[in-house]
Amino acid sequence: MTQLLKEIIKKNIKVDGKDLHLLDDYFKPKKIAKGSFLLKEGEVFHAAVFVQNGLFRTFVIDENGTEHIVQFATQGMWTGDLASFISGKPSKFYTEALEESEILTITKNEWENLLQKAPFYLDFHRKLLEKGLFSLQERLLESYSVDARKKYLNLIHTFPDIIQRVPLYMIASYLGMSRETLSRVRKHLTDKK
């Protein structure tokens, strides 16, 4: 059940077998129907969510009512709003299942509890935050210095199968451009071949 999670943890921190088994007691599996929400704006995100399989998007809605997708999460990734989970403050984000999905969750309290029993999970916690910081930095830098075409190319390079799994207008939203612009970028790329 928690196979994938265990592998990922082993890759990130040093932890021995019997401590890994603790995870089975703490993380609860759950099925999530396509179209349902794990989190809506204004709510506090009380549980960490690890994606076993399926696909989620997390997005904000700005003052003009436009959606901006901040993250896609697939198998092996974490989703929801890490900052809200840690701080206990209300989130600005929505996270929605785009496919029938399976997740592992742990509530804030249980997480704190686990950290007490097995403090080396603090290292993992840290790594998570660090990765969150890192990927946000990357996206911010990209938004400054890269044009539409290159953003798209970068995405299909780092995340090839996302194109098959979500409608293009969501890709456009993720990349911070209009769906028409994305459509034209794609046309130019195929024309050149």
Q: Does 36 bind DNA (CB under 7 A)?
A: no
Burial of 171 (0-12, 13-18, 19+ CB in 10 A): buried
Q: Does 63 bind its own copies (CB under 8 A)?
A: yes
Q: Yes or no: say if 58 and 73 are a contact pair by the CB < 8 Å rule.
A: yes
Q: Does 183 bind DNA (CB under 7 A)?
A: yes
CB-nearer residue toward DNA: 66 or 87: 66
Phi and psi torsions of 77, nearest 5°: -105, 170
| Secondary structure E strands in the chain | 28-32, 37-39, 47-53, 55-61, 67-74, 78-79, 94-97, 101-107
CB-nearer residue toward DNA: 59 or 85: 59
Residue 179 CB, nearest approach to DNA (Å): 5
The CA distance from 176 to 1, in Å, is 36
- Which region among 10-18, 38-46, 85-93, 179-187 touches its own copies (by CB under 8 A)? 85-93
Q: Does 124 bind its own copies (CB under 8 A)?
A: no
Quick one: which of 128, 148, 155, 156 contacts DNA (CB under 7 A)? Answer: 148
Quick one: which of 68, 117, 187, 188 contacts its own copies (CB under 8 A)? Answer: 68
Residues that bind DNA (CB under 7 A): 147-149, 167-170, 176-184, 186-187
